[in-house]
């Protein structure tokens, strides 16, 4: 038995805003009969405000609860605000969903996105970006469930997913034949590489030198001193960090290991993944 | 609302019969000796163990008590039979099974495939019946083992074990035949000699013994290596101090089940048929997933088109009714039942498939209650489905 919250149970027992709006201003759908869950959402929008929302769902308890909660969350809200709603917001409003059921909240987000896709696109968006985004949207990663790259990308971004298993729980991708698991891993890797890249780009060369120096002086050196050794920073050239080892450490057989495993990891974790530590005599 | 419990999930597990529990209790309390010990105090447990073995021999209609091995569960029985046969026939690397076996067997075969075995999976038709021609063709000189369940846990469809046994003997008399009989124990008579099987596994908790005990029939012509190595228990085939109270319970349950087989075939079947007929008559989007296939008397598997199974179960559960579903959502696996997929149950119905499994404890009142409340539940779920047009079409078709 799933550990559903009271909120989830209340919403699947008494779903709100069930039905169809015949003269809807926006209609969106996500999922399919083959996949085992499908959601259709109908919106009435007036003066940029969602005045009414209804849904029809084929799916499990948490799918119905997510759909029902979503309609409650958007009625009366301006479209600009509704657009910001993520699957995580839906799950949070439901006081959480079991990990294996997170894809139900993603379905809500997808249907909403689908409904609003033609509704007042951001004016300043670069044409190139739009094109690239559209292309990405159409690239299907998981053929069993028809999950596209952007759905996976968004799920990783919004929920901080780190493993293929988590992505499967949130989006269903990879949950059937599993052939796309490698592709999903690639997307995860690309996402975090990009994030890393953005992070390291945030530091100017001077800031980077300062940061490396501080970490060596305040963190690494005291650690090595505990074992009767020490470390001095000699030079920094891009991502290459030249250090000198003193005391018990120098000449010690384990010194290379110490350098690689400890100094390098510390610096890589704190500053940049690309840092290389080189010992000088 | 009074809190009712209508338990219609007896293929998952069953209630322990009071008489079984009664029979077990002395072996927890007064008669706790190790049956292998050499004193008077161990005599009663040792005797109880022998007696239980005799009851299981009768239950299987085995030729000899020595052919009964007590295990901890159905999965152990299956693992022991399969691994045991294969390691005695190391030069043979081919196995045949079905696409609709229980996961405990299927997952083992996936492991064996990684270990270098070739496994052929026999398919089923839309009623869930095995393709015997495919089976016959698959058997060859290298086939170490054929392993087929007696009846399917999800659909209740019975496979023609005797016929299969004849096919195997004709094609390769050296090939061993293991039957996973977990879902027929206590439901239909078992006769291993007439069926001509080499090994057969059962599990106690599916027929009113407790969880944690099972048995494997292994005929005297079949030599297997043990899975658990240690002491001399079970004639060296399964080490570990015998679980006397549970084995006594299993023996008692087997004895009671023998007496109840007629009741299963008549009364349980009548109630199952009544439930089934009621559902198919009152609910226009319901379909029987097994067609005219021969089934165990207690099981029905019904697909409710254009609605999803977990939601049906949740609403049933709110009314105290327990059943199970082949839907993807209930298992957390994201994929609907491998059994229903192998049968090519249409996608409109596969996610909304519900299994009801009765027992001797099921009453007419309970069945009437389910037939009374189920149409309302289905109607409620249908009303939120995005497939209103398809449903309307279906309704028109059914009512005409």
> Is there a single domain that holds both residue B207 and residue B300?
no
> Is there a single domain that holds both residue B143 and residue B180?
yes
Rounded Cα–Cα distance for residues A43 and A71 (Å): 9
Marked catalytic residue, from A60, A104, A177, A252: A104
The residue segments making up the domain with residue B353 are 6-12+261-399
What are the start-end ranges of the E strands in chain B?
6-7, 68-71, 94-98, 118-122, 143-149, 176-180, 199-203, 214-218, 286-288, 299-304, 321-322, 324-325, 353-357
> Is there a single domain that holds both residue B201 and residue B271?
no
Q: What 3-state DSSP class applies to A17?
A: coil
Q: What is the dihedral of CA A60, A65, A71, A77, to 10 degrees?
A: -140
The enclosing domain of B269 has a CATH number of 3.90.1150.10
Rounded Cα–Cα distance for residues B50 and B46 (Å): 6
Of the candidates A264, A139, A237, A128, the one whose C-alpha atom is nearest the C-alpha of residue A190 is: A139
DSSP string, A39-58: EEEEEEEETTEEEEEEEEEE
Q: What 3-state DSSP class applies to A158?
A: helix
Structure tokens at A45: 């929008």
Q: Do A58 and B385 touch (CB under 8 A)?
A: yes
The pLDDT assigned to B1 comes to 45
Q: Which of B233, B257, B281 is the last residue of a domain?
A: B257
Spatial neighbors of A276 by CB under 8 A, at least 6 apart, are A239, A240, A241, A264
Buried b (16+ CB within 10 A) or exposed e, A229-255: bbbebeebeebebebebeeebeeeeee
Rounded Cα–Cα distance for residues A82 and A76 (Å): 10
> Is there a single domain that holds both residue B122 and residue B182?
yes
End-to-end CA distance of chain B: 38
The enclosing domain of A219 has a CATH number of 3.30.300.130
Spatial neighbors of B102 by CB under 8 A, at least 6 apart, are B74, B78, B149, B153, B180, B182
Structure tokens at B111: 């492991």
> Is there a single domain that holds both residue B281 and residue B334?
yes
> Is there a single domain that holds both residue B234 and residue B307?
no
> With an 8 Å Cβ cutoff, is B387 touching chain A?
yes
User: For the purposes of burial, counting CB atoms within 10 Å of the CB of A102, is it exposed (0-12), middle (13-18) or buried (19 or more)?
Assistant: buried
Mean pLDDT computed over A233-245: 83
| pLDDT tens figures, B288-329 | 999 999 999 999 999 999 999 999 999 999 999 999 987 666
Which of A18, A100, A176 is the closest to B383 by Cβ? Answer: A18
Which of B285, B321, B349, B351 is the mutation pick for testing A, counting most A CBs within 10 A?
A: B351
Q: State yes or no: pLDDT of A182 exceeds 90.
A: no
Q: Do B327 and A63 touch (CB under 8 A)?
A: no
| pLDDT tens figures, B82-132 | 999 999 999 999 999 999 999 989 999 999 999 999 999 999 999 999 999
**Do A82 and A70 meet the contact criterion of CB atoms below 8 Å apart?**
no
The residue segments making up the domain with residue A140 are 121-202
Mean per-residue pLDDT over chain A, rounded: 83
Which of A40, A58, A176 is the closest to B334 by Cβ? Answer: A176
Query: How high is the ipTM of this complex?
Result: 0.87
Chain A's closest residue to B315, CA to CA, is A13
Residues of B in contact with A38 (CB under 8 A): 386
**Do B77 and B212 meet the contact criterion of CB atoms below 8 Å apart?**
no
**Do B253 and B265 meet the contact criterion of CB atoms below 8 Å apart?**
no
**Do B155 and B131 meet the contact criterion of CB atoms below 8 Å apart?**
no
The enclosing domain of A156 has a CATH number of 1.10.10.1100
The pLDDT assigned to A130 comes to 58
Spatial neighbors of B250 by CB under 8 A, at least 6 apart, are B52, B56, B70, B204, B209, B213, B214, B215
The pLDDT assigned to A241 comes to 86
Counting the structural domains of chain B, the total is 2
Q: State yes or no: pLDDT of A128 exceeds 70.
A: no
Of the candidates A117, A191, A200, the one whose C-alpha atom is nearest the C-alpha of residue A158 is: A191
Structure tokens at B377: 């539940």
> Is there a single domain that holds both residue A54 and residue A100?
yes
> Is there a single domain that holds both residue B339 and residue B234?
no
């Amino acid at each position: 038995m799933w550990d559903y919250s009271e909120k989830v149970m209340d919403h699947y027992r008494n779903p709100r805003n069930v039905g169809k709006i015949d003269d809807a201003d926006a209609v969106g759908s996500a999922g399919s009969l083959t996949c085992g869950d499908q959601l259709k959402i109908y919106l009435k929008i007036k003066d940029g405000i969602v005045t009414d929302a209804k849904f029809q769902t084929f799916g499990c308890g948490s799918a119905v609860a997510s759909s029902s909660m979503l309609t409650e969350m958007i009625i009366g809200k301006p479209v600009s605000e509704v657009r910001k709603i993520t699957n995580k917001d839906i799950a949070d409003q439901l006081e959480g969903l079991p990990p294996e059921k997170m894809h139900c909240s993603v379905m809500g987000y997808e249907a909403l996105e689908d409904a609003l896709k033609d509704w007042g696109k951001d004016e300043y968006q670069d044409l190139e970006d739009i094109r690239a985004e559209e292309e990405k949207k159409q690239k299907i990663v998981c053929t069993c469930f028809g999950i596209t790259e952007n759905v996976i990308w968004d799920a990783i971004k919004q929920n901080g997913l780190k493993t293929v298993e988590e992505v499967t729980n949130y989006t269903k991708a990879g949950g059937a034949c599993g052939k796309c698991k490698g592709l999903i891993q690639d997307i995860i890797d690309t996402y975090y590489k990009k994030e890393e890249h953005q992070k390291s780009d945030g530091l100017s060369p001077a800031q980077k030198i300062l940061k490396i120096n501080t970490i060596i002086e305040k963190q690494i050196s005291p650690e090595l001193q505990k074992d009767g050794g020490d470390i001095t920073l000699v030079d920094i050239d891009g991502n290459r960090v030249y250090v000198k080892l003193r005391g018990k450490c120098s000449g010690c057989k384990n010194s290379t290991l110490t350098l690689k495993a400890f100094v390098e990891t510390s610096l890589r974790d704190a500053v940049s993944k690309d840092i290389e530590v080189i010992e000088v005599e | 609302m009074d809190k009712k419990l209508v338990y219609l999930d007896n293929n998952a597990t069953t209630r322990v019969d009071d008489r079984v529990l009664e029979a077990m209790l002395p072996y927890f309390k007064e008669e706790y000796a190790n049956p292998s010990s050499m004193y008077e105090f161990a005599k009663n447990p040792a005797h109880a163990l022998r007696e239980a073995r005799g009851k299981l021999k009768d239950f299987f209609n085995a030729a000899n008590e020595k052919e009964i091995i007590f295990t901890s569960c159905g999965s152990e029985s299956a693992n022991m039979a399969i691994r045991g046969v294969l390691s005695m026939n190391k030069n043979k690397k081919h196995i045949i099974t079905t696409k609709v076996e229980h996961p405990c067997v299927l997952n083992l075969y996936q492991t064996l495939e990684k270990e270098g075995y070739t496994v052929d999976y026999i398919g089923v038709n839309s009623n869930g019946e095995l393709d015997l021609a495919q089976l016959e063709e698959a058997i060859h000189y290298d086939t170490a083992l054929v392993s087929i369940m007696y009846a399917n846990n999800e659909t209740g469809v019975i496979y023609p074990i005797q016929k299969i046994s004849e096919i195997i003997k004709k094609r390769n008399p050296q090939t061993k035949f293991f039957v996973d009989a977990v879902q027929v124990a206590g439901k239909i008579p078992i006769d291993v000699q007439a069926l001509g099987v080499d090994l057969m596994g059962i599990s106690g908790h599916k027929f009113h013994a407790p969880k944690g005990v099972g048995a494997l029939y292994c005929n005297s012509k079949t030599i297997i290596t043990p899975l658990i190595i240690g002491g001399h228990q079970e004639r060296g085939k399964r080490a570990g101090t015998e679980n006397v109270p549970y084995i006594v319970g299993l023996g008692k349950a087997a004895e009671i089940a023998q007496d109840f087989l007629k009741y299963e075939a008549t009364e349980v079947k009548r109630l199952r048929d009544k439930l089934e007929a009621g559902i198919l008559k009152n609910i226009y989007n319901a379909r029987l997933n097994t067609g005219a296939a021969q089934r165990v008397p207690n099981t029905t598997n019904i697909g409710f088109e254009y609605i999803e199974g977990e939601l049906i179960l949740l609403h049933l559960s709110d009314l105290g009714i327990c059943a199970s579903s082949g839907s993807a959502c209930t298992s957390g696996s994201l994929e609907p039942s491998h059994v229903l997929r192998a049968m090519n149950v249409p996608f409109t119905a596969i996610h909304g498939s519900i299994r009801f499994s009765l027992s001797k404890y099921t009453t007419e009142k309970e069945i009437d209650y389910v037939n009374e409340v189920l149409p309302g539940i289905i109607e409620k779920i249908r009303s939120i489905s995005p497939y209103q047009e398809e449903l309307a079409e279906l309704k028109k078709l059914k009512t005409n």
